């Protein structure tokens, strides 16, 4: 019989929401740096720097839970997840440097919709009619948010679409690896990023200005701390509470884009985001 997880208390949900907001803020800081510096340095170079910092920060956790690495199985699935995740982060870093912050965040929120579709096609999960309708609404919202004629259709937007598809497939792999210790998943992910991107990054390495090193290394620190905050949030709070809170990142990223990059979201962006949020909440409510 499956273990029944008791619902979180109001206090736990509040602390979980606070950790999730910290996760979103740290991610936005990391992506903000990538957006500011990403056109100057290759995306794959930023990925390898992020992975290197992440590995250093993981060392204490690996030493503490080293016994978990003695029982690794399903190597092929681990490697597929790492490859998909590496491509996802590389295309993500490429995209954020070339498209508006709020649009990047809104389109990324179509991942739960694609996850539902891929789960039906690849995992054989049964999807009800209402959730299929919600998926259609969410994908229509993505089209509205992009606003043909309002947003320049460039390589950044294509990279973002690829990010969403590849990232969703990586989540499918993660679901199939259920039961693997978190430390193993994180080490595979971070080490895989470093191993797969290092040869490409070194081949096209752009010299880094001395003043840029602390800023670029901060991407890895913020991203790794964001993962810790994300885990803490989901250890404490209920998914039904944290799901709606996560949509606040659209507001946070919109504010960051306006304050730091002079980006003003248009009506299409706001309307499309509402469609995507509504569809995501309906899918979560139904399953």
Determine which of 135-139, 208-212, 237-241 has the lowest per-residue pLDDT on average.
237-241
User: What pLDDT band is residue 287 in, cutting at 50, 70 and 90?
Assistant: low
What was the pLDDT predicted at 130?
82
What was the pLDDT predicted at 1?
39
pLDDT at 246 over 50: yes
Report how many helices (DSSP H) and strands (DSSP E) the chain contains, helices first: 12, 0
What was the pLDDT predicted at 286?
57
- Cβ proximity of 280 and 138 under 8 Å: yes
Average pLDDT rounded to a whole number, residues 215-220:
92
Query: Could you read off the pLDDT of 31-66 as tens digits, one per residue?
Result: 999 998 877 899 999 999 999 999 999 999 899 998
Percent of the chain surpassing pLDDT 70: 91
103 closest CA partner among 258, 280, 259, 246: 258
Percent of the chain surpassing pLDDT 90: 31
* Structural domain boundaries in the chain: 12-286
Query: Could you read off the pLDDT of 146-196 as tens digits, one per residue?
Result: 765 555 667 888 999 999 999 888 888 887 887 788 888 889 989 999 999
Range among 110-119, 121-130, 197-206 with highest mean pLDDT value: 197-206
Query: Could you read off the pLDDT of 183-202 as tens digits, one per residue?
Result: 888 899 899 999 999 999 99
What was the pLDDT predicted at 175?
76
- The burial of 154, by beta-carbon neighbours within 10 Å (0-12 exposed, 13-18 middle, 19 or more buried), is given as exposed
What was the pLDDT predicted at 218?
94
What was the pLDDT predicted at 227?
81
Average pLDDT rounded to a whole number, residues 201-216:
92
- Between the CA of residue 6 and those of 220, 231, 243, what are the distances in Å? 34, 18, 18
**DSSP string for residues in 77-121:** HHHHHHHHHHHHHHHHHHHHTTS-HHHHHHHHTTHHHHHHHHHHH
- pTM for this entry: 0.81
What was the pLDDT predicted at 185?
87
Q: How many other CB atoms sit within 10 Å of the CB of residue 265?
A: 21
What was the pLDDT predicted at 143?
79
**In the structure encoding, which two tokens stand for residue 85, read together?**
């995740």
Query: Could you read off the pLDDT of 266-279 as tens digits, one per residue?
Result: 788 888 888 888 88
User: What pLDDT band is residue 139 in, cutting at 50, 70 and 90?
Assistant: confident
**Rounded mean pLDDT of the chain?**
84
Residue with tokens 């740096």: 33
């Amino acid at each position: 019989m499956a273990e029944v997880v008791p619902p979180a208390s109001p206090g736990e949900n509040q602390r979980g929401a606070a950790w999730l907001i910290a996760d979103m803020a740290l991610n936005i800081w990391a992506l903000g740096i990538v957006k500011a510096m990403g056109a100057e340095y290759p995306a794959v170079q930023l990925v390898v720097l992020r992975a290197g910092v992440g590995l250093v920060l993981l060392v204490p956790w690996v030493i503490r839970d080293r016994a978990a690495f003695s029982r690794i199985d399903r190597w092929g699935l681990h490697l597929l997840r790492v490859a998909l995740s590496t491509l996802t982060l590389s295309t993500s870093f490429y995209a954020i440097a070339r498209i508006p912050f709020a649009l990047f965040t809104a389109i990324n929120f179509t991942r739960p919709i694609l996850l539902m579709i891929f789960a039906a096609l690849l995992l054989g999960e049964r999807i009800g009619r209402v959730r299929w309708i919600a998926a259609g609404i969410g994908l229509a919202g993505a089209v509205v948010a992009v606003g043909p004629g309002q947003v320049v259709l460039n390589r950044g937007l294509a990279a973002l679409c690829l990010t969403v598809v590849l990232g969703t497939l990586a989540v499918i792999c993660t679901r199939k690896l259920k039961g693997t210790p978190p430390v193993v998943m994180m080490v595979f992910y971070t080490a895989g990023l470093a191993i797969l991107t290092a040869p490409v990054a070194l081949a096209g390495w752009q010299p880094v200005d001395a003043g840029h090193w602390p800023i670029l290394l901060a991407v890895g620190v913020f991203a790794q701390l964001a993962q810790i905050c994300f885990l803490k949030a989901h250890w404490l709070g209920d998914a039904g509470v944290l799901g709606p809170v996560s949509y606040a990142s659209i507001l946070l990223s919109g504010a960051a884009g306006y304050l730091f990059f002079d980006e003003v979201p248009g009506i299409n962006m706001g309307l499309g985001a509402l469609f995507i949020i509504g569809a995501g909440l309906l899918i979560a409510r139904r399953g």
